[in-house]
Structure 1
Amino acid sequence: MELAVIVVVIVAALAFDYTNGFHDAANAIATSVATRALAPRTALLMAAVMNLVGAFLGTEVASTVGSGIIAAPEGISGLVVVLAAILGAIAWNLVTWWFGLPSSSSHALIGGLVGAALAAAGTVQWHGVLDKVIIPMVLSPVVGFVLAGLLMTGILWMFRHGRTRRVTTGFRHAQTVSAAAMALGHGLQDAQKTMGVIVLALVVGGYHQGFDVPWWVVLLSAGALSLGTYSGGWRIMRTLGRRIIDLDPPRGFAAETTASAVLYTTAFAFSAPISTTQTITASILGVGATRRLSAVRWGVAGNIAVAWVLTLPAAAAVAALAFWLLHPILG
């Protein structure tokens, strides 16, 4: 029975990973597509490949998700907690995708873990949630906004005497590199979250010890995320690439460069599972504000902010409901 439930959990985790891919594809390539630096299908293929590569660059974030958020009970009850958490995250991903809102898949998964654990009267490691989730959730968009604005200001000063057409063409080519860096950072961050959940299921099911990530878990997680990315997320792509601000290549380059730098720093230096969605959105807002504050469509930004705030409690609520429904059947 436990083995069958573990298989179901792994399949559900990979399904979440797939939804994460098409939900967050916009994070990596929306700016490049909006500025016409890359054709849409070319951009998706590049993002899928770089997501795949990025997933193999580390497992520190996976360890945080697997062992630093909740302490799930062993056996069937623990597996039901993990399964309910995944279902809560998938549900929120699909809702926000339908409405074209770039919410955080990462925070949906973490909210799901917390909600399912609370429903099961399990242990939530609140210090881990605070240190690794809440604080980075607040700081990463602020850092992205400020650094992107500073980088864009520097670019405007450096190229103030340049010919507009030549500068635009140059940054359009440079965006190929910055978009690839962003996609690599997305693979580094987001594939690891699925790895962490799968390892957590293996541990509570008694099929794995410790939180080292087996190679086959890395391979499956990387593949599912990459396939999801290639399938595309056009609804959210339109929001990020066009509805927040009309981007040009220099601003697209500055936003992608800043966001990818924040993703790498938090993954390697702090093992923190931050939101790629929040980071790139804040960076886009930062570069947009250098044009003039009125150039940013703050109403759209406000709707995105509401989705950010709702993600953790909404995913937690759905996960708790899923646990109450599943536990009498599987537990």
Structure 2
Amino acid sequence: MSAAGHVPPPFFKRGPAPLARLFFFVALSVLLLVADLRFHALEWLRMTASTVAYPLQLAAYLPVEGAGDLGKYFSSLATLHRENDALRHRQLVEANLLLRQRYLEDENKRLRALLDMKEHQPVNGVIADIQYAARDPFSRRVVINKGLQEGIEAGQAVIDELGVIGQVTRVLPLTAEVTLLTDKNQMIPVEVQRNGLRAILAGAGSNGMELRFLASNAEVQVGDILVTSGLDGIYLRGLPVARVAAIDRDSAFMFARIRCVPLAGVERHGQVLVLGRPPQVSKLTEENAEPGRKKIVGAPHRKRK
């Protein structure tokens, strides 16, 4: 029971009715919309709210942006790997083309030099390619791709743009075998270009040669150039052959030991020039080949009076 004249407090405070609140807020919203639309009265409030909420927007967008950047990083990394592989492959292809181009340029230079030497020789010549080296490890021989069909004969001299490399020793219909100057069974008559001293140059194997049968006091110096003397009737006179590399003069021996190195690319180049026989040799060969012709020796027979 309550005391007299005392009213108990209510358990819940009751404000305005919900419908009244609804009408109030709707009217306030319409008023704010009209005021902002017609007079831009809430622009300052919008700018303030945007400024205050901007750090929150950045913080909320940061994980999304980080995930996007991470995806771009991995995508760019994969693209970079693909580009590196493509550039590496392109570099290998261009390196191969560059090496091939350099090889072709060197080959063209050698061919032009061979053609120029062919024009300056008094005999005909045939340009041939070296196919492979002979299988005999104790000899220095190569096989060229020209044979009897191109008029190659045994005994013809073979040169390159630098000098003599050897001599044709065997001829087949389509190929021919060339014995190099460095072969131990190969000899060539030469002379010292500086003073005309004649000697015999013999192969010593392993890209080396020896000047034989010269006295210990012979007038030969290191660096002298040896050229063909033309006495054998096979090589034209004046073709470069070798350069004197070392001289061993021992008084205990009758002859000096003179080591030489070939001037031509004996075991390097791939194109060679096979020279025809010198004119005097070709003439003698034709005379001997004529049937029924007898060679008269001695003085001609005089008629009786």
| Greater strand fraction, Structure 1 or Structure 2 | 2
| TM-score between both structures, scaled by the size of structure 1 | 0.17
Q: What is the TM-score normalised by the length of structure 2?
A: 0.18
Considering Cα pairs closer than 8 Å and 6+ residues apart, tell me whether 1 or 2 has the greater RCO. Answer: 1
